[in-house]
Amino acid sequence: MRYSIIILLFVSLSSCNRKAWVFTSFHEPADAGLRVLYSYDGKKWTDLDTVLLHPSVGNQQVMRDPSMVQDKNGTFHLVWTSSWRGDKGFGYASSKDLVNWSAQRFIPVLQQEPVVVNTWAPELFYDEDQDQFLIIWASCIPGRFERGIEEDSNNHRMYVTTTKDFKTFSETKLFLDPGFSVIDAVIVKKGDKDYVLVLKDNTRPERNIKVAFADNPMGPWKNISKPFSDKFTEGPSVVKLKNEWLIYFDSYQKKIYEAVSTTDFNEFRNVTTEVKVPEGHKHGTIVPVIKKFVRHLIKTTAH
């Protein structure tokens, strides 16, 4: 029995030792392309200091808000904001190693709408139960919702499409209408039939980050919380570390990246002094990988 426990402990420690993370990134003014940070503990991040993919789709051909997931076969799927204004879709590409990429494609998701102000921050989530990917994003469609306290040109709602293969996509649907302008939403699976949506309230009095809850990644989302960040914050990214989640976000007025820790998404502790994010890093997503992958990526991209 004691021998078995030692073996299990060794396997567990070995498994933990294999883990690392990559954090997709871009630098302003966002026309250069995809950058990546890496970390072996989820708290201290290092910039790979190279551009891995140069944008070539969309009206403005930029690459903002890169969101990435890795599928069961090891392929990384990447989506991004391809224009600040005007696009009715977003960019897409895939890769096995983050160095060699597929041809870029523009995914039109709002082509049926006569007027779309923007298509911002597409975010990927893999739904294990349905074996499909959700892509959610913020768009402003003038006149679609009550104006509220925002102008029509800044009255965003969240939309969604699903796909199993990134070739065919479901009809675009409204994902979240909280009654106010909302952007930068991220789906987190907390447990079985237990999901959290981290979102930015983009109204002028708020401009901070909140959470909502559901028993399905498609919603409906309920019980929107009070803000856990200061004003002038956006672009949340979430990583699970043992028994806690870290939520990173861009505190753009302070010109720093901040982070909070939570175990239940009800109480939050600011841990900005415990993390290290390189200067210039902007809105991305965090993907778990094995350490061997990061070492190979560093070696492959060495200048």
For 208-245, how does the pLDDT look when each residue is reduced to its tens digit (9 = 90+)?
999 999 999 999 999 999 999 999 999 999 999 999 99
Q: What is residue 271's predicted lDDT score, i.e. its pLDDT? A: 98
- Rounded-to-10 torsion of CA 141, 146, 152, 154: -80
User: Is the pLDDT score of 290 beyond 70?
Assistant: yes
Share of the chain above pLDDT 70, in %: 94
Please classify residue 257 by burial: count the beta carbons closer than 10 Å to its beta carbon, then call 0-12 exposed, 13-18 middle and 19+ buried: buried
Q: What is residue 223's predicted lDDT score, i.e. its pLDDT? A: 98
Query: What mean pLDDT value characterizes the chain?
Result: 94
Domain of residue 240 covers 2-300
For residue 273, what is the DSSP state? G
Please classify residue 173 by burial: count the beta carbons closer than 10 Å to its beta carbon, then call 0-12 exposed, 13-18 middle and 19+ buried: exposed
The whole-number average pLDDT for the span 23-52 is 97
User: Is the pLDDT score of 108 beyond 70?
Assistant: yes
Q: Which residues pair with 256 in a beta bridge?
A: 251
Provide the domain count of the chain: 1
Q: Is residue 43 within 8 Å of residue 50, measured between CB atoms? A: no
Reading the block at residue 175, the tokens are 């994902």
Q: What is residue 302's predicted lDDT score, i.e. its pLDDT? A: 87
Q: Is residue 45 within 8 Å of residue 23, measured between CB atoms? A: yes
Q: Is the dihedral of CA 164, 111, 236, 267 positive or negative?
A: negative
Question: pLDDT band for position 15 (50/70/90)?
Answer: very low
Residue 25 zone, left/alpha/beta (φ > 0; ψ -120 to 50; rest): beta
User: Would strands 182-191 and 194-201 be described as parallel, antiparallel, or unpaired?
Assistant: antiparallel
Q: Give the tens place of pLDDT for each residue, 124-148.
A: 999 999 999 999 999 999 999 988 8
3-state helix, strand, coil in the chain (%, to 5): 10, 45, 45
Q: What is residue 3's predicted lDDT score, i.e. its pLDDT? A: 42
User: Is the pLDDT score of 202 beyond 60?
Assistant: yes
Question: pLDDT band for position 17 (50/70/90)?
Answer: low
**CA pair distance 108, 153, nearest whole angstrom:** 20
The whole-number average pLDDT for the span 167-191 is 98
Please classify residue 192 by burial: count the beta carbons closer than 10 Å to its beta carbon, then call 0-12 exposed, 13-18 middle and 19+ buried: exposed
For residue 1, what is the DSSP state? -
For residue 169, what is the DSSP state? -
The whole-number average pLDDT for the span 1-12 is 40
**CA pair distance 218, 149, nearest whole angstrom:** 27
Q: What is residue 4's predicted lDDT score, i.e. its pLDDT? A: 41
Q: Is residue 159 within 8 Å of residue 171, measured between CB atoms? A: no
Residue (of 20, 93, 30, 98) closest to 235 by Cα position: 30
User: Is the pLDDT score of 287 beyond 60?
Assistant: yes
CATH of the domain at 24: 2.115.10.20
Q: What is residue 9's predicted lDDT score, i.e. its pLDDT? A: 38
Q: What is residue 146's predicted lDDT score, i.e. its pLDDT? A: 87
For residue 101, what is the DSSP state? B
Q: What is residue 12's predicted lDDT score, i.e. its pLDDT? A: 39
Longest Cα–Cα distance in the chain: 69
**CA pair distance 207, 230, nearest whole angstrom:** 8
The whole-number average pLDDT for the span 66-90 is 97
User: Is the pLDDT score of 67 beyond 50?
Assistant: yes
Q: Which residues pair with 240 in a beta bridge?
A: 245
Contacts of 12 by beta carbon, 8 Å cutoff, 6+ apart = none
